[in-house]
Amino acid sequence: MKIHSAAGIAAVCFALAGGNAWAQSQTAGNIALEKCSESLGTLAVVEDRNAGWYRHMQQYQVQSTVPLLRMLVQQSNCFVVVERGAAMNVMMQERNLDRSGESREGKHFSKGQMVAADYAMNPTITFSSRDSGGIGAAIGGLTSQLGSWGRAAGAVAGNLKFKEASTMLTLVDNRSGVQLAATEGNSSKTDFGAWGGVFGGGAAAGMGGYTKTPEGKVIASAFADAYNNLVRSVKSYKAQEVKGGLGKGGRLGVGK
């Protein structure tokens, strides 16, 4: 087998030394997004931009998780997405214009038209990484045999890391404040391709850094995994009950 580039050498050594995860991702095929035959209600995605994970995420050339999660929700048909982000300011501005009398006739703005969010979905991310020492060692052993190609491949491999992310999605009932589900998702750099049917084609157009950087792909596939787990959870959800009723004192008892 002839290899004509440093990248090709790095890929071969990655397959040999980086092993199972890479090989499995190439043969596993596409992972399907969980879907629903009918909507379970309206949903708002609420992101805590003051959280440490959000600030940490900015260095990976990806911004808000909201567009990514909305896309997953929209494709699944499990919830109807309602706007509670930056565009909410525009919605309120238009209503203020209407109240001021500046809007044209026939604008159809009136009270009672805003759709309530039945549920709120909140994302969090935990980042981790481990060095790809095995890849570097494998290529290092070939350097003397491959000469300049080997050194170039070693430089490529030196920048490769097994980046991983663990994500969590929590789903809360807005009317009662009760948490309905909390699910985790995990991913490695090699998992993104398996979600081709979810992130491919036109769906990727509005995702920005989530399809352009290795770290973005890790986050995207981890959230897709978490969302699939959330949908499975809510499909089998049974209303929680406490004797005497939720929020009416509980059963543990507190002394006077």
What pLDDT score was predicted for residue 147? 56
**pLDDT of the residue at 28:** 47
Instruction: Tell me, yes or no, whether 154 lies in a domain.
Output: yes
pLDDT at 232: 96
Segments of the chain scoring below 70 in pLDDT:
1-29, 129-163, 189-190, 192, 194, 196-197, 200-209, 256
Tens of pLDDT, residue by residue over 68-91, are 999 999 999 999 999 987 787 788
Q: Is residue 58 part of a domain?
A: yes
pLDDT at res. 27:
40
Query: Range of 203's domain?
Result: 6-86+114-235
**Could you give the 3-state DSSP secondary structure of residue 236?**
coil
The pLDDT assigned to 135 comes to: 44
- Can you tell me the distance from the alpha carbon of 191 to that of 205, in angstroms, rounded to the nearest whole number? 19
Domain count, the chain: 1
Is 227 contained in some domain?
Answer: yes
pLDDT of res. 158: 43
The answer to whether residue 95 sits within a structural domain is: no
Residues near 174 by Cβ (< 8 Å), separated by ≥ 6?
Answer: 44, 116, 117, 118, 119, 120
Q: Is residue 247 assigned to a domain? A: no
State pTM to two decimals: 0.70
Q: Does residue 97 fall inside a structural domain?
A: no
Q: What's the pLDDT at 44?
A: 96
pLDDT value of position 236 = 92
| Res 187: pLDDT | 82
CB-CB contact of 86 with 15 (8 Å) = no
**Inside any domain, residue 171:** yes
| pLDDT tens digits along 34-43 | 999 999 999 9
